[in-house]
Structure 1
Amino acid sequence: MNVYDAAKILGITGEINPKIVKSAFREACKKYHPDINPAGEELMKMVNEAYEVLKNHSGESKGEQSDYGNALSAALNAIIHLPDLIIEICGAWIWVTGNTKVHKTLLNESGFWWASKKKAWYFRPEEYRSKSRGKKSLGDIRAKYGSVRPDNKKASHPNTLKSYDR
């Protein structure tokens, strides 16, 4: 995860220093804790990774105030209970494969986009969309950012994440 994505997940804009990062991390923990949020375990993995990237960072964050974490939370909570989906979190993106055809409408309504070259759905808020036009394969993305798969059959059960680094 890069500094830009980490700052978006923690909702930090402007100056970044360890004190600001710690405060933003604590707020995110309160908001996305698994006891409060059904998809909280997956979101906490992202928050922890963002904290690790930024905890010793000093500088400026690009962009305006972000609701990125809340957008990820809403998208993940909308689909985590659906059967036959393979959900992967790679960096700050959510990728969905498996039997997606039957859930096409809900995925679309939840803000997911179809990546035809990768044959997968992805979520990234509209204002943060990439300009690369999909030059990397899903395998390349997994290799660069790692991959965490929530077990959507046991979304509220502890220890449901599996890490896949390919």
Structure 2
Amino acid sequence: MKISDALSILGLSSGATQEEIKAAYKGAAKKYHPDLNSAGGEMMKLVNAAYDVLREATSTETSEQADANYGADLYAAINAIIDLDGLEVEICGSWVWVGGNTKEHKEALKQAGFKYAKKKQKWNYRPSGWKSRSRGTYSMDDIRQAHGSVRPSRPARRDYALGAAA
């Protein structure tokens, strides 16, 4: 994960100090705790990875440009699609890639802020200010190798019998 991605996930601006990084991590851990909702577990994986990157970074390295709202935006995007049936969600670095049966969920993906990558035949969610330089020349295997890959599992659904007599 790049330092700018890690800063964005924790909602920090460039030049963050170690104290600010630690405070942002604690705040994000409370905000995205898995017990709060279904996308929390995946966000905590990203938050932990971002914290690991930034904990080892120097203050000059953290001066990279970052999007302070990206963590909250990413969380909302994952939360909007995590319960949709037939989707294969994969997190590579700070991007979320979605494949599988996406046709029936096309409108939900668009509303959540995902964009369709025709060459990869997948939907993706990325930082809003990101500009492509490669024009799709990297394969998904290249992306996985460069940024790592996590495939979130869907949370177990709890079925409650309403009005059932004890």
In the superposition, the TM-score normalised over structure 2's length comes to 0.86
Q: Partners in 2 of 1:153 and 1:40 — Cα distance? A: 10
**Could you give the per-residue CA deviations for residues 83-123 of structure 1, whole angstroms, max 9, x where no partner exists?**
11100011100000001011111111110000001000000
Any conservation in 1 of the 2:33–2:41 contact (CA below 8 Å)?
yes
Moved more, 108-117 or 141-150: 141-150
Q: Partners in 2 of 1:95 and 1:9 — Cα distance? A: 16
Give the SS at the match of 1:33. Answer: coil
Q: Partners in 2 of 1:34 and 1:86 — Cα distance? A: 20
Q: Partners in 2 of 1:37 and 1:127 — Cα distance? A: 28
1:112 to 111, 114, 131: 114
Residue aligning to 2:163: none
What does 1:57-136 align with in structure 2 at a 5 Å threshold?
Answer: 57-59=57-59, 60-63=62-65, 66-136=68-138
What does 1:1-166 align with in structure 2 at a 5 Å threshold?
Answer: 1-59=1-59, 60-63=62-65, 66-152=68-154, 154=156
Task: Return closer, same or farther for 1:66/1:128 CA change in 2, 3 Å cut-off.
Answer: farther
Q: Partners in 1 of 2:66 and 2:145 — Cα distance? A: 30
Q: Partners in 2 of 1:145 and 1:58 — Cα distance? A: 21
Gaps of 5+ in 1: 157-166
Task: Return closer, same or farther for 1:69/1:75 CA change in 2, 3 Å cut-off.
Answer: same
In the superposition, the TM-score normalised over structure 1's length comes to 0.86
Q: Which is richer in strand? A: 1
Task: Return closer, same or farther for 1:139/1:120 CA change in 2, 3 Å cut-off.
Answer: same
Give the SS at the match of 2:99. Answer: strand
Which amino acid in the other structure matches residue 126 of structure 2? R
Q: Partners in 1 of 2:67 and 2:129 — Cα distance? A: 12
RMSD of Structure 2 on Structure 1 (CA): 1.8
Task: Return closer, same or farther for 1:68/1:87 CA change in 2, 3 Å cut-off.
Answer: same
Deviation at 1:35, TM superposition (A): 1.4
Moved more, 10-19 or 68-77: 10-19
Residue aligning to 2:164: none
Give the SS at the match of 2:46. Answer: helix
Query: What count of residue pairs does the alignment treat as equivalent?
Result: 156
Deviation at 1:11, TM superposition (A): 1.1
Task: Return closer, same or farther for 1:78/1:25 CA change in 2, 3 Å cut-off.
Answer: same
